[in-house]
RNA sequence: GGCCCCUUCGACUAGCGGUUAGGUCACCACCCUUUCAAGGUGGCGGCACGAGUUCGAAUCUCGUAGGGGUCACCA
């Protein structure tokens, strides 16, 4: 079987985590079977339509590396891939259902429907369209439509019996047809609803496997009935468990409870490899239990029977952990440095030699969780006029003598390579007869303005003799000036703080 | 509320009749250590409940409870 899957996002706002999640599984399933993966834009809701959204969804997929074989961007044999451009197709199919008496026009206004629901509520009945327009004669229906009266087209669902749907993960699910309402297929504005558009497009585009979120299970009988009405073969339905909010409610992922925008994770410095890997773990596991694997490895090992049906809670903490693991262990240094370089550039950092970056990234990577952390931690590698934080000041206060000695010692050191520097420092500490920390912590503070930073030897070597001498000198004059408080007491804003920081230098 | 789906440590999960119920995150302790990390070792902690099937159930069946989804001219 030639497998075809699709993802059908609605362009209504920020690219959603859930779209990435379902996209991943559709992509992987298709690739696993040598099939095609389609991205179709479901823009049939004009009221929620967001013009920028489609582009951002495409960009998200591109960033994740889930490249569709067919889409609004790359085209394909079933163009167009934007539902708003396929209106004639839906109209055509609705006409067919109308002609075959499998659907009917309904002329109720929004107010009438509202009233109907209120009455149902009063009587304690289940709410839902009661089929009141079913009995309209075709003559009356045609006349009223011809006269320009607005109408919708509804599916004529069976009044009794059951509809069986098969979910590949759950088996057969049976619905009583009385539970299935005469849903709207075509809205009064001429746009199709999801039900009609998805079924028509999935069929026309040759979709063989519909992998979507669990929330669609209860509308699957509608789709099954539609396939039957058209005498089309139904695709295989696979309903993935719904991602849940990390709070106590356990409701489906919502932007009010969690940041669900993929763009936002990207901006935070989460890398696509990590996000994809984390999402893969939501409901699926590798046969060998490995938790870290690439998209390619997932494709190589994927099977539906390893999907678990429990509702997975999206845990940003573990996502960050996985991201950190990728940054420190899994991404090759050169590759990582390329990505960090861009961020350093936009942070306004300047450097002469890219090898400098390689060293910085190398020592910083065990200490970061996101790409952005590199920028937050690397300032002192690029700026000489940094301020000293409170802890650093304390270290400096107790280190004047050592810094003076080391300034002298370093100045006499001819080769500033790792071994020479390391030997010098160790010899010096030894001859002082004190703990390493006594000496190295003030030195670290002098070099970085912080009490927490990478190994001092690494810092010395990476910064190089010139900067080391300059920074020790600067720290000594700062100590001599009595460690002035470089933070203004006045509660004014950042502008002043920056200015004062420079003055402190 | 009706209907539908789901149920193993706090979270993600392995398990597919016989296991001291395994791993990962988080948390805690210890080790390493010039700080912070990283790393190493260990710990805490779970089969929702009740019947039944079986020599034997986390695993199969039924029921109960709990959670979620869905009941739009939104997807």
Domain of A429 in residue numbering reads as 390-480
A391, closest nucleotide (Cα–C1'): B35
Report d(CA A9, CA A12) in Å as an integer: 9
In this prediction, the residues of chain A whose per-residue pLDDT falls under 50 are 487-505
Asked if the interface predicted TM-score (ipTM) of this complex is over 0.85, the answer is yes
Pairing of strands A162-167, A171-176: antiparallel
pLDDT tens-digit map of A447-486? 999 999 999 999 999 999 999 999 999 999 998 888 887 5
Lookup: tokens for A194:
């999801």
In a domain, A104, yes or no: yes
Nearest to A476 by CA among A379, A381, A411, A382: A411
Final residue of a domain: which of A190, A223, A240? A240
Final residue of a domain: which of A240, A273, A299? A240
Nucleotides of B under 7 A from a protein CB: 1-8, 11-16, 22-26, 33-39, 67-75
Q: What is the separation of C-alpha A294 from the centre of its chain, rounded to a whole number of angstroms?
A: 16
Q: What is the pLDDT of residue A285?
A: 98
Strand partners, A41: A82
Q: How far does the CA of A20 sit from the C1' of B61, in Å?
A: 38
Report d(CA A242, CA A158) in Å as an integer: 30
In a domain, A50, yes or no: no
Q: What is the pLDDT of residue A480?
A: 86
Final residue of a domain: which of A196, A218, A240? A240
pLDDT tens-digit map of A392-417? 989 999 999 999 999 999 999 989 99
Report d(CA A135, CA A132) in Å as an integer: 7
In a domain, A429, yes or no: yes
Nearest to A167 by CA among A211, A206, A205, A226: A211
A154, closest nucleotide (Cα–C1'): B73
Q: What is the pLDDT of residue A486?
A: 59
- Select which of A255, A341, A438, A487 is catalytic: A255
In a domain, A128, yes or no: yes
Q: How far does the CA of A311 sit from the C1' of B65, in Å?
A: 18
Cβ of A398: how many Cβ atoms within 10 Å?
13
Q: What CATH number corresponds to the domain at position A161? A: 3.90.800.10
Cis-peptide, bond into residue A484, ω within 30° of zero: no
**Would residue A255 show up in a list of annotated catalytic residues for this protein?**
yes
Q: What is the pLDDT of residue A127?
A: 86
Q: How far does the CA of A159 sit from the C1' of B25, in Å?
A: 50
Q: What is the pLDDT of residue A409?
A: 95
What Rg, from alpha-carbon coordinates, does chain A have? 32
Q: What is the pLDDT of residue A493?
A: 33
Query: How many domains is chain A partitioned into structurally?
Result: 2
Cβ of A426: how many Cβ atoms within 10 Å?
13
Q: What CATH number corresponds to the domain at position A473? A: 1.10.10.350
pLDDT tens-digit map of A426-452? 999 999 999 999 999 999 999 999 999
């Amino acid at each position: 079987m030639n497998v075809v899957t699709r993802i059908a996002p609605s362009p209504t706002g920020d690219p959603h985590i859930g779209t990435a999640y379902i996209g991943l599984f559709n992509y992987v399933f298709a690739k696993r079977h040598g099939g095609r993966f389609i991205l179709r834009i479901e823009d049939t809701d004009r009221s929620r339509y967001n013009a920028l959204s489609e582009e951002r969804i495409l960009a998200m997929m591109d960033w994740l590396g889930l490249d569709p074989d067919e889409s609004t961007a790359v085209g394909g044999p079933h163009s167009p891939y934007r539902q708003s451009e396929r209106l004639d197709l839906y109209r055509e199919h609705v006409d067919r259902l109308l002609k075959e008496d499998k659907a009917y026009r309904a002329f109720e206004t929004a107010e009438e429907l509202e009233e109907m629901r209120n009455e149902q509520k009063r009587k304690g009945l289940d709410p839902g369209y009661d089929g009141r327009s079913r009995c309209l004669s075709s003559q009356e229906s045609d006349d009223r439509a011809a006269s320009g009266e607005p109408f919708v087209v509804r599916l004529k669902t069976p009044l009794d019996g059951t509809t069986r749907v098969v979910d590949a993960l759950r088996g057969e699910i049976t619905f009583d047809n009385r539970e299935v309402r005469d849903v709207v297929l075509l809205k009064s504005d001429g746009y199709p609803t999801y039900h009609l558009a998805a079924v028509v497009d999935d069929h026309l585009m040759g979709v063989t496997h519909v992998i979507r979120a669990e929330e669609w299970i209860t509308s699957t009988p509608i789709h099954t009935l539609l396939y039957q009405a058209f005498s089309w073969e139904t695709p295989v339905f696979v309903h993935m468990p719904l991602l849940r909010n990390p709070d106590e409610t356990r409701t489906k992922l919502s932007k009010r409870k969690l940041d669900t925008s993929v763009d936002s994770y990207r901006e935070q410095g989460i890398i696509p490899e990590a996000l994809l890997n984390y999402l893969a773990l939501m409901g699926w596991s590798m046969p060998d239990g490995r938790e870290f694997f690439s998209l390619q490895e997932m494709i190589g090992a994927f099977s539906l029977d390893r999907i678990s049906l429990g509702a997975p809670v999206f845990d940003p903490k573990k996502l960050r952990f996985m991201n950190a693991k990728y940054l420190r262990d899994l991404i090759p240094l050169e590759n990582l440095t390329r990505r960090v370089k861009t961020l350093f550039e936009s942070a306004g950092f300047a450097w002469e030699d890219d090898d400098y970056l390689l060293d910085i990234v190398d020592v910083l990577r065990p200490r970061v969780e996101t790409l952005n952390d590199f920028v937050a931690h690397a300032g002192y590698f690029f700026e000489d006029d940094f301020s000293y934080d409170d802890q650093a000041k304390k270290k400096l206060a107790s280190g004047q003598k050592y810094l003076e000695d080391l300034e002298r010692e370093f100045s006499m050191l001819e080769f500033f390579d790792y071994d020479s520097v390391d030997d010098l420092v160790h010899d010096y500490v030894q001859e002082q007869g004190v703990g390493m920390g006594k000496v190295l912590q003030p030195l670290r503070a002098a070099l970085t303005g912080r009490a927490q930073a990478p190994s001092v030897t690494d810092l010395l070597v990476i910064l190089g003799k010139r900067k080391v001498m300059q920074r020790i000198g600067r720290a000594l004059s700062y100590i001599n000036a009595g460690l002035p408080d470089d933070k203004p007491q006045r509660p004014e804003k950042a502008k002043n703080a920056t200015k004062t920081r420079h003055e402190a230098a």
